[in-house]
Structure 1
Amino acid sequence: MTPARRLRPRSLRSRLVLIAGLLATCAVVLCQIAGLTVVRTWLTDQVDDRLTHFRPPTGVYRYIADGGLLRRPTTDTTLPSDYRVFFYDQRGRLLDSALGDSDTPGPRLPRNAADLHLTAGRPGTLAAEESSGSEWRVITYMGPDRMRAVVALPLDTVDGATTKLLWVSLALGIAVAGGVVVLGNVAVRLGLRPLTRVERTAQRITEGALELKVPVPDPDTEVGRLSLALNTMLDRLRTALHRTETSERQLRRFLADAGHELRTPLTAIQGFAELLLDEPRMSDERRHEAHTLLNQNAERMSRLVDDLFLLARLGESPHPHRETVDLLSLAADAIATTAVRHPLRGITLEPLGTARAGHDPDLDIVETTGDPYQLAQVVGNLLANACTHTPLSARVRVRVGAACAGEHGLGADRPGRVGVGPPQAPGTPLCVVEVADDGPGIEPGQAARVFDRFYRAEALGTDATPGTGLGLAIAAAIAQAHDGRLELDTRPGAGCAFRLLLPAPCPAPDAPHETQDPGCATGVSAGRR
């Protein structure tokens, strides 16, 4: 490290005080220099004024020309002032005759008037005869017979006043610089106190106190705006950390649940395989039973792996393939497939308004855009969930229709409802597929977890096969990938209803369409079934 860098102050407060001290010192020095210049010029002008108002009388020239004062001047020729008068004769030679005090060294005059280099009637400055003496201010006058007189005044009073003023200025400058450093240090410390509090709070936050917030003294100041920006950054950082921690917890729980779910069928397959190997002479009936259980556990593990792969694919590719999908036909196909697996179930297909209207409306073709295979899986998972967790006596109704968000609370959060996906803005046209049952319903504590991965409630249907606990999680992920929403309304003891809400496509300008509500367009075609 260089000496300059070693001596450079590191703290902001020291730098501000140093800069303020240097600026104040420079300002004082410049002002004092300007003052000294003005005072010296004014005093010199006073001396020049005295010189221009003093002119040797004509008789002195005649007296000098007649040979007077050819010897060294005596006290009788001393002027009662600090004036000094010197003479040059007709040939331009400096005469020894002079008027004034001869005890002090006078100006350094040349022996020849031609070397004087002074303009007649205009003051000039000459050095003293001795180097330690003060300078002289001189002026020349032309006398009779080409004689010349040089009138001089010393500048010792000017130099004395200027020197005293210089020392006063230096003392004042030092005092001002010291005062600026001391008082500036106090002022800067007080001014930077809010920034110091911000610094201390930031230091505590870096030590782990993430719940703290930076104090905002005044939002209209630079420190206040900095504090607001830091608080906004801290809020985003806390949110990101919370999301990261939540994601890590979910990932650990997901891996643990996946390992547990895969371990169960793998253990069963391993056990029955060892049984077949250890007892090659077992009866055909027991062998068939072992083969059947092996096949069931293999299918269960295959379904689990397929569901996990689908969830991973939905996470990596959130934008599914889109094409026009007829939700009414899709629901009818899902009901037919579910009826094959659950032949004793009573599943009906109804219009959406059946539960609310006093009459039976017709089934309308409801079209939306999306991946038909993924949407079919959503409806199939909802039907499988209803058949698995309700008794055989419970009826399952599939309702398909179009509505606007906000009608009868559709698409909005409210007490007793669990929703996955953001709420829909009121008046937004929606395509709705609802799977409702009149079974025992779901308790509120369980309802809050039904969309979690690997969460499984108790199966009540006698024709139910154990699931993987991923059906509703897959349905929620597909709904969100289609910019939709999955809702659950439940009333313990009175059944529950799962509702898939998808955005309705905007109809073409010339395409025929019907509108169930004048306030929104619903993308329902004119066909009837």
Structure 2
Amino acid sequence: MLTPTVLRAAPTRSLRGRLLLVVTALAATVVLASQFIGYQVLGSWLTGRVDQQLRAFQPPPPGSSGRSVFGPAVHRPPTVGPVGPLPSDFRIYFYDVDGELTGQWIGDPAPAGPRLPAQLSVGGPAADRPATVPAESGQGRWRVLLLRDSSEGSGTLVALPLDTVDGTMSKLLWLDVAVLGGSILVLVAAGAWLVRLGLLPLIRMERTARAITGGELDLRLTDTDPRTEIGRFGQVLNTMLDRLQQALRAHEASEARLRRFVADAGHELRTPLTTIKGFTELALRHPQSAEERREANRLVAQNAERMSLIVDDLQLLTSLDREPLYRREPVDLLSVGADAVGTAALHHPGHPVDLGPLRTAADPTGARELELVETVGDGHRLRQLVAALISNAHTHTPPGTPVHVRVGSTTAGPTTGGTDRPGRTSAAPPLAPGTPIDVIEVADDGPGLAPADAAQAFDRFYRADPARSRARARGGSGSGLGLAIASTIAQGHGGRLELDTAPAPGCTFRLVLPRSG
């Protein structure tokens, strides 16, 4: 009995070897079965021919001339006409009513005859039925037939040797063995070639897979005929490789963004920390006047506020990325825009802000009246998003630059928003053209952004002008996370935030939400 260790150690046949073994075994089985059937049919046919000869043979009467093992034959009056010489292959045995052997005609020459019992049942069931018996000596066989005489009750047994049949069958058997051996050799040779030919696509797949694992990630399988199983398998593998490559690239891009994010966060936090540390050390080492202390305290508080703003934005972005929970309630986007405009007018009196209807192809000037635009979402987050867009416009445009807030409903398209086109950037996938959408636009008449800067506008900690200080907008430029947070909120509502830098001057940030209901 094989132990599990021996079974595990046994070599596993390759697919080519298994296919060759199965094909050869099946073909050899078919050849062997056909030879066996032919052997049986030929043997039965030859034996049937001998039986026909036995039945067709007319034995001479017991008194005819010939050789007998009992000496001179008993002379009886012939009951039939004269009979010619007896064929040498036939043996005739005469039995009386009691089954006693009374005479035997053996002819010339006289090989060993059939092995017969000393007494036969002439009237038994074996009469008139051919049977096969062994020879008296040697390996020979005889075919015998007992014929009954209905008038006298005696019987005559006619026998023919099966030497010719056995010789023919022996030669056929050796021929079958030779043919089977030759067939197996031919099957192995031809099968190996055919199996190799059939497995060529798999061999090419193996070579391509080895090259891919070696680093050539852009290689793809060439055997992709959909009419074959291997071709369909190749198509599936190519699709899987494409997705794996996309996932790998996305993972690498995510790691790169994470490293950049950590580096940017460290850079943003290092500046206020360095300022606070410097003023603190200066206060501990040197005595200061009251005016110097007030200035130092003011700068420390300002940098602490900046650091607190960065940490708050980081926490908010992390919570939005993790698994944000947005309320699902009716929200009036017109009210959201109006609240944002009122707040901006209060905090940024140097930037005029107005509220108007959305410009569409039917109304390119926006002359129609404002209308109620209701969607479903988180009102607090949507207000936070619009406020961030207006604050961004105030921060990155010169004082006195007008900012326009537009609200309306339309359908997604190249001119209205929601789809991609040249001059438009978004971190979210486009919507299907013709999708009903609700829109809030925040447009400014400022200097705009270069295409390279616009392409990275929604990246975390990205600034079009890295050297810009906090002298703008409340003494600072913010944390660099405002647009990333706004884009994440838009995607959390099933929409997207996009930036248009063409064809009009300035920048247009557009919140696009699929219309509910």
- TM-score, normalized by length of structure 2? 0.88
State the one-letter code of the partner of 1:220.
R
> Which residue pairs with 2:229 in the alignment?
222
Q: 1:301 to 1:461 in 2, by over 3 A?
A: closer
In 2: Cα distance, 1:209 partner to 1:359 partner? 55
Q: 1:141 to 1:361 in 2, by over 3 A?
A: closer
Asked if 1 retains the 8 angstrom alpha-carbon contact of 2:412 and 2:436, the reply is: yes
Pick from 284, 293, 310 the counterpart of residue 299 of structure 2: 293
Match of 2:32 among 9, 14, 29: 29
1:334 aligns with one of 330, 337, 340: 340
**Where does residue 520 of structure 1 map in the other structure?**
none
Task: Answer yes or no: is the 8 Å Cα contact 1:72–1:97 preserved in 2.
Answer: no
**Is 2:17 the partner of 1:11?**
no
**CA deviation digits over 1:409-441, x for unaligned, max 9?**
322222112123222333333222221111111
Aligned equivalent of 2:445: 438
C-alpha deviation, 1:320, in angstroms: 1.5
Distance across 1 between alignment mates of 2:372 and 2:97: 134
Partner-residue secondary structure (3-state), 1:60: coil
Structure 1 residue 297 displacement after superposition: 0.9
Change (3 A) 1:118 1:128: farther
Q: 2:357 aligns with which of 336, 341, 351?
A: 351
Per-residue CA shift, 1:122-177, capped at 9, x if unaligned? 221111111x2311111123357543322111110110111111111111111111
Per the alignment, do residues 273 and 208 of structure 1 end up closer, same or farther by CA in structure 2, a change over 3 Å counting?
same
Cα distance, 1:463 vs structure 2: 5.2
Which residue of the other structure, out of 166, 170, 175, is the alignment partner of 1:168? 175
For these two proteins, the number of residue pairs brought into alignment is 497
Separation of aligned partners in 1, 2:333 and 2:187: 81
Q: Percent identity?
A: 50
| Range that drifts further, 443-452 or 345-354 | 345-354
Give the deviation of 1:398 after TM superposition: 1.8
Equivalent in the alignment of 1:71:
71
Q: How far apart in 1 are the matches of 2:497 and 2:434?
A: 18
Q: Secondary structure at the match of 1:224?
A: helix
Give the match for residue 159 of structure 2.
152
> Contact 1:118/1:124 (CA < 8 Å) preserved in 2?
no
1:53 matches 2:59: no
Contact in 2 for aligned 1:456/1:469 (Cα 8 Å): yes
Q: Is the contact made by 2:419 and 2:430 (CA closer than 8 Å) also made in structure 1?
A: yes
From the superposition, tell whether residues 492 and 425 of structure 1 become closer, same or farther in structure 2 (CA, over 3 Å): closer
1:250 is matched with which residue?
257
Q: 1:225 to 1:72 in 2, by over 3 A?
A: farther
TM-score (norm 1): 0.86
Match of 2:80 in 1: none
Task: Specify every segment of 5 or more residues in structure 2 that has no aligned partner in the other structure, as ranges.
Answer: 74-83
1:495 alignment partner AA: G
Q: Corresponding residue for 1:235?
A: 242
Choose between structure 1 and 2 for higher RCO, CA contacts under 8 A separated by at least 6 residues: 1
Moved more, 331-340 or 475-484: 331-340
How far apart are the structure 2 equivalents of 1:462 and 1:450?
18
CA RMSD of the aligned region, Å?
2.8
Deviates more, 1:90-99 or 1:412-421: 90-99
Pick closer, same or farther for the CA change 1:224–1:387 going to 2, 3 Å: same
Distance 1:104 1:4 in 2: 60
Q: What's the CA shift string for 1:342-381, capped at 9, x where partnerless?
A: 2322222223249955574333332222112211111111
Secondary structure, counterpart of 2:399 in structure 1: coil
Higher mean alpha-carbon deviation, 417-426 vs 30-39, is at 417-426
One-letter amino acid of the structure 2 residue matched with residue 476 of structure 1: S
Deviations 1:499-529, CA, capped at 9 Å, x for gaps: 11222333xxxxxxxxxxxxxxxxxxxxxxx
Give the counterpart letter for 2:51 in structure 1.
D
**2:309 corresponds to:** 303
> What whole-Å deviation, never above 9, does each CA across 1:45-73 have from its counterpart, x for those lacking one?
11111111223234538x99xxx974278
CA distance in 2, matches of 1:288, 1:59: 157
Contact 2:353–2:404 (8 Å) recurs in 1: yes
Matches within 5 A, 1:249-398: 249-279=256-286, 281-353=287-359, 357=364, 360-398=367-405
How far 1:43 moved relative to its partner? 1.2
Q: 1:319 to 1:263 in 2, by over 3 A?
A: same
Give the SS at the match of 2:372: strand
Q: CA separation in 1, counterparts of 2:498 and 2:251?
A: 26
For residues 424-476 of structure 1, the C-alpha deviation after alignment (integer angstroms, 9 at most, x for no partner) is 33333322222111111111111111111101234584755221111111111
Where in structure 2 are the equivalents of 1:377-456 lying within 5 Å? 377-406=384-413, 408-456=415-463
Measured in 2, the distance between the counterparts of 1:318 and 1:212 equals 40
CA contact (8 A) 2:91 2:158 kept: yes
2:495 is matched with 484
CA contact (8 A) 1:398 1:436 kept: yes
2:354 aligned counterpart, secondary structure? strand
2:478 corresponds to 1:472? no
Q: Does 1:194 align with 2:201?
A: yes
8 Å contact from structure 2 (residues 334, 372) kept in 1: yes
